[in-house]
Amino acid sequence: MNKKYEKNLSKQKVIEEKIEDLQSELQDLKDEQEEMENIEILKSYRSTDISLDDFLKMMKNHKKEEMKEKKNEEDTKKQEKSNSNQYVGYTVDENIHKDTEEKLNEEN
């Protein structure tokens, strides 16, 4: 095979391996973060004078709020992406319309 082709394949393989390593490292960091958060939660519980049931309710409410915030962020990103796509589509449609008008005017 062509040397350039083989070099391309080799480079792809190296990049894929790097991606796998980075994804693994990212997952390890996320796991570590979760463990640290859980430790902080336990410390919070132990340092307060609150019943376990009340503490669990408080944590559930906190988790719900986090989920809502995350969903809102995702919705905002989707909306921004949608808006940018609509703008691009509008611009393209507008240009096509202008080109068509110009051609019609030239014919007349």
pLDDT per position as a tens digit, 1-23: 799 999 999 999 999 999 999 99
* Domain boundaries, position 1: 1-48
For residue 94, is it within any domain? Answer: no
Q: How far apart are the C-alpha atoms of 37 and 45, rounded to whole Å?
A: 12
The DSSP call for residue 9 is: H
Q: 107 pLDDT exceeds 80?
A: no
What are the pLDDT digits (tens) for 40-80?
A: 888 888 888 888 888 888 888 888 998 999 899 999 888 88
How would residue 86 be classed by pLDDT, with cut points 50, 70 and 90? low
Least reliable range by pLDDT among 22-26, 29-33, 58-62, 103-107: 103-107
Q: How far apart are the C-alpha atoms of 41 and 63, rounded to whole Å?
A: 12
35/65 same-domain check: no
Residue 18, token pair as written in the block: 């790097």
77/59 same-domain check: yes
63/77 same-domain check: yes
